[in-house]
Amino acid sequence: MAGALQELPLLHKAFAEGRVSYSKVRAVSRVAEPDTEAELVEVAMTKPASHLERLCAGLAKVGSDDGEPESVTSTGRWRWQDEGTLKVTLTLTAVDGARFLAGVTRAEYERVRTGDGTDVDGWSGAPSDIAAAMVVLAERACAELAAPAIAPHAEVVVERRPDGRARLADGPALSAVEESELRCGAAESERTVDGAGAVLNWGRTRRAPTVLQTKALSRRQNGCCGVPGCGRRRFLHVHHVRFWSDGGATDLANLVLLCGEHHRLLHRGELSIEMIGGQRFRYLDGDGHELVDAPTMRFDSQELWPFHSIDADAILPNWGGEPLDVGYATWVLMTEWERRRELSAAA
Ligand SMILES: [Zn+2]
Ligand SMILES: [Zn+2]
């Protein structure tokens, strides 16, 4: 049974001094006992959080091991919820889980990187919120894997109802904002259905730009999202400045490349774009203020540091970059704790 933070004074002290992060405290407090705390705090101070989490998970597992682990299979469920969102639940085996996290981590890295990819400093692993990265994975699969033209569920299909409203085929109704985002340059199919749901007409409308147009757009924006200061370079969406649904043309004077997040903000009305001619645009925030590239800040960093009880070197790592051998580290710690308990029992 793991001890609470007040029973772990060394951990508490290291946290108060800013020497271990909250995620490290959480990992250690799950497995530490008053008599095993010292070694774990030592590991927490010298190893990155990902190593510590693996080690603590290993210790918890050793502590609860009763014979062979049960064999498990990966399962995943999805369902549309009443409020029109999709709920996905995945339970993966260790191997599938590792593959999944590797894919999600690569997708997230590509999604948010702004430089040429050499700026890996500070990239600490799988994102805690994996939703955007999973959408990127799905978009990549749709773009790269061929499927029969009308394979149910293998493409995004919007149904047009007799009352003019749109809904996803076999899914929820779409708000006007969601519909305009989906229709903007996306390769989705549309079908018109009658009141009973029978398909009256399949249509695929030409609103996606050609490859040449997309290349020209990318050159014009140096390969980045058009919003000043954003700088994201991958998985950009082509947006019609005058909405396609309002009659905006699919030509360069009406198209910009945006990252997924800015594209969504735009369709929600929290960002807007004005054409100023010559294929140039102004970007405005929700209050109508123009967005410009952030000026470099000049300030004394000491003035911004309100935590005077925390030493300036508190978060300097003393980890040398060596990998973690979970099995060995677990064995060393367990052996040491076992030995100490035997000694104190004998005393
Ligand atoms: Zn758009
Ligand atoms: Zn952006």
Separation of 133 CA from ligand 2 center, angstroms?
Answer: 15
Q: Please, how many CA atoms are within 13 Å of residue 161, restricted to the half-sphere of its CB?
A: 13
Separation of 101 CA from ligand 1 center, angstroms?
Answer: 30
Residues making up the chain, counted from first to last: 347
Helix, strand or coil, per DSSP, at residue 294:
coil
Separation of 300 CA from ligand 2 center, angstroms?
Answer: 29
Helix (H) or strand (E) holding 80: strand 75-80
Place of tokens 């052996």: 335
- Cα–Cα distance between 202 and 4 in angstroms, integer? 61
Average pLDDT on 293-311 reads: 66
- Token reading at 45: 């101070």
- Cα–Cα distance between 158 and 173 in angstroms, integer? 9
Ligand nearest to the CA of 226: 2
pLDDT at residue 200, as a whole number:
58
Separation of 225 CA from ligand 2 center, angstroms?
Answer: 5
pLDDT per residue over 35-71, tens digit each? 889 999 999 988 888 889 989 988 887 767 665 656 7
Whether the per-residue pLDDT at 142 is higher than 90: the answer is no
Separation of 152 CA from ligand 1 center, angstroms?
Answer: 25
Query: First and final CA of the chain: distance in angstroms?
Result: 24
Confidence of residue 1 (pLDDT cuts 50, 70, 90): very low
Separation of 316 CA from ligand 2 center, angstroms?
Answer: 32
Residue 175 CA: distances (Å) to CA of 31, 160, 302, 305: 47, 13, 48, 45
Percent of all residues in the chain with a pLDDT value above 70, rounded to a whole number: 81
Separation of 222 CA from ligand 1 center, angstroms?
Answer: 19
Separation of 266 CA from ligand 1 center, angstroms?
Answer: 7
Separation of 71 CA from ligand 2 center, angstroms?
Answer: 44
pLDDT per residue over 226-262, tens digit each? 999 888 888 888 888 887 767 778 888 889 999 988 9
Separation of 230 CA from ligand 2 center, angstroms?
Answer: 5
Whether the per-residue pLDDT at 206 is higher than 60: the answer is no
Separation of 227 CA from ligand 2 center, angstroms?
Answer: 5
Separation of 79 CA from ligand 2 center, angstroms?
Answer: 30
- Cα–Cα distance between 181 and 263 in angstroms, integer? 8
Ligand nearest to the CA of 184: 1
Separation of 65 CA from ligand 2 center, angstroms?
Answer: 48
Count of C-beta atoms within a 10 Å radius of residue 125:
13
Helix, strand or coil, per DSSP, at residue 167:
strand
Ligand nearest to the CA of 260: 2
Confidence of residue 204 (pLDDT cuts 50, 70, 90): very low
Separation of 20 CA from ligand 1 center, angstroms?
Answer: 43
Separation of 131 CA from ligand 1 center, angstroms?
Answer: 20
Separation of 35 CA from ligand 1 center, angstroms?
Answer: 59
Separation of 295 CA from ligand 2 center, angstroms?
Answer: 17
User: Phi/psi at 304 (nearest 5 deg)?
Assistant: -90, 5
pLDDT per residue over 74-113, tens digit each? 999 999 998 889 999 999 988 888 889 989 988 888 888 8
Separation of 141 CA from ligand 2 center, angstroms?
Answer: 22
Ligand nearest to the CA of 244: 1
Separation of 342 CA from ligand 1 center, angstroms?
Answer: 68
Ligand nearest to the CA of 268: 1
pLDDT at residue 227, as a whole number:
93
